[in-house]
Amino acid sequence: RIMTGDASFTIHNSNSMEIGVSALKELGNILSGSYLTALSDFTQLTLYPSVPSLNMDMAGAILSFGLLELSLVSDQGIVIETCLTDPSDESKESVEGHFFLFPDPDSYDTLFKALGVSDYD
């Protein structure tokens, strides 16, 4: 609703669903690019993103599916607490959530070494 500016927006309305999904996918692109750029700047590593995905379901179902897929190659991920606000209008509500980053499993050693973390298990 905040992103589309449509107070009547709901995921249950197929007429407005397409624009909402598109907005969420673009938000995923922007956030993933921003987080990877910041991580790249901080670690001095070259990072290459893959296309982010968007799933809508119960939180448990999404996490279970994502973690099952990830568990085939790794048992680690990075969770980034995320809060989006409009600094020009403090009366607007913020949107809070979690951004899950699943680097290629072979990159963890390089990533954590660049972050100065010697033992991350």
Give pLDDT tens digits for 88-110.
877 777 878 888 777 777 888 88
CB within 8 Å of 35: residues ≥ 6 apart: 80, 99, 101
Question: Which pLDDT band, with edges at 50, 70 and 90, does 40 fall under?
Answer: very high
Q: Kindly tell me if the per-residue pLDDT of 120 is higher than 60.
A: no
Q: Rounded to whole angstroms, how far apart are CA atoms 69 and 89?
A: 40
Single-letter code of the amino acid located at 2: I
Q: Rounded to whole angstroms, how far apart are CA atoms 27 and 2?
A: 12
Average pLDDT of the residues in 3-22: 74
Q: Kindly tell me if the per-residue pLDDT of 63 is higher than 80.
A: no
Residues 84-111 as b/e (b if ≥16 CB within 10 A, e otherwise) read eeeeeeeeeeeeeeeeebebeeeebeeb
Averaged pLDDT score across all residues of the chain: 78
Contact 47, 78 (CB under 8 A): no
Contact 28, 52 (CB under 8 A): yes
Question: Which pLDDT band, with edges at 50, 70 and 90, does 70 fall under?
Answer: low
Strand segments (E) across the chain:
78-84, 95-101
pTM: predicted TM-score of the whole model, two decimal places: 0.69
